[in-house]
Chain A
């Protein structure tokens, strides 16, 4: 069964902490994405990557960075966590030829 695995289901971090959210996929997909889901706003794209070491800003990249050192792994970094980054974070992937995404189960991050 193909999978996108997010390392943590729930995280609680303090304001100002550096936070790492990890995502691994086992489908050999070229494209990987980080979204956040907030009530009434749906899913908003933070960053995406179409190849190893390649990254592109999405619609709301401020306060975030990403790393893709290996094809299967895409990390989201909150440089200095703030309370407005409390959200559900979803990682997704799809192959280079497109099609629907496969999503991970999500990480619910609370910044206090």
Chain B
């Protein structure tokens, strides 16, 4: 039973356009959400996070939106760059130590 779902295995976007990566969750106890980025042959790196008391958090080209009523969050990358091509993991925590990860979405940004 996947508590964090990324239903799109891959996404292709033109350089300069917006990339939107989506994530749905089922556990209403999740109170903290994170996005990680992973290049091949490297470990994931933390990208951006959002607390459940907020609905938006922005960091440069990256913005995360949280819709608690829909149990949905999204990561927007504007403008997209070829170096953004990677696998993006959505993750969630319900207090405590454990972080639950989604299956990942592979983003291709075409030059």
Compute how far the CA of A98 lies from the CA of B91 in the bound complex, rounded to whole angstroms. Answer: 14
- The 8 A CB mask of A80-112 against B (1 = contact, 0 = none) is 000000000010100000111111111000000
Q: Which residues of B contact A100 (CB under 8 A)?
A: 34, 36, 46, 49
Within the complex, which residue of B32, B42, B93, B101 is in contact with A43, where a contact is CB–CB below 8 Å? B101
Compute how far the CA of A43 lies from the CA of B38 in the bound complex, rounded to whole angstroms. Answer: 12
Interface residue A50 (Cβ < 8 Å from any Cβ of B): yes
Chain A residues with CB under 8 Å of chain B are 4, 9, 31, 33, 35, 40-45, 48, 50, 56, 58, 90, 92, 98-106
- Would you give the shortest CB distance from A2 to chain B, in whole angstroms? 12
Knowing that A33-B99, A44-B101, A102-B46 are A-B contacts, what are 13 other residue pairs whose CB atoms are under 8 Å apart, sorted by A's residue number? A40-B103, A42-B101, A42-B103, A43-B89, A45-B98, A45-B99, A50-B97, A99-B46, A100-B49, A101-B46, A103-B36, A103-B45, A106-B43
Within the complex, which residue of A4, A42, A92, A99 is in contact with B104, where a contact is CB–CB below 8 Å? A42
Q: Which residues of A contact B89 (CB under 8 A)?
A: 42-43
B44 touches A58 (CB 8 A): no
Compute how far the CA of A40 lies from the CA of B43 in the bound complex, rounded to whole angstroms. Answer: 17
Chain B residues with CB under 8 Å of chain A are 4, 6, 9, 32, 34, 36, 41-46, 49, 89, 91, 93, 97-104
Q: Which residues of A contact B9 (CB under 8 A)?
A: 40
Total A-B residue contacts, Cβ distance less than 8 Å: 56
Of chain B, the residue at the smallest CB distance from A90 is B43
Within the complex, which residue of A4, A31, A105 is in contact with B41, where a contact is CB–CB below 8 Å? A105
Compute how far the CA of A42 lies from the CA of B87 in the bound complex, rounded to whole angstroms. Answer: 10
Q: Which residues of B contact A98 (CB under 8 A)?
A: 32, 93
- Would you give the shortest CB distance from B10 to chain A, in whole angstroms? 12
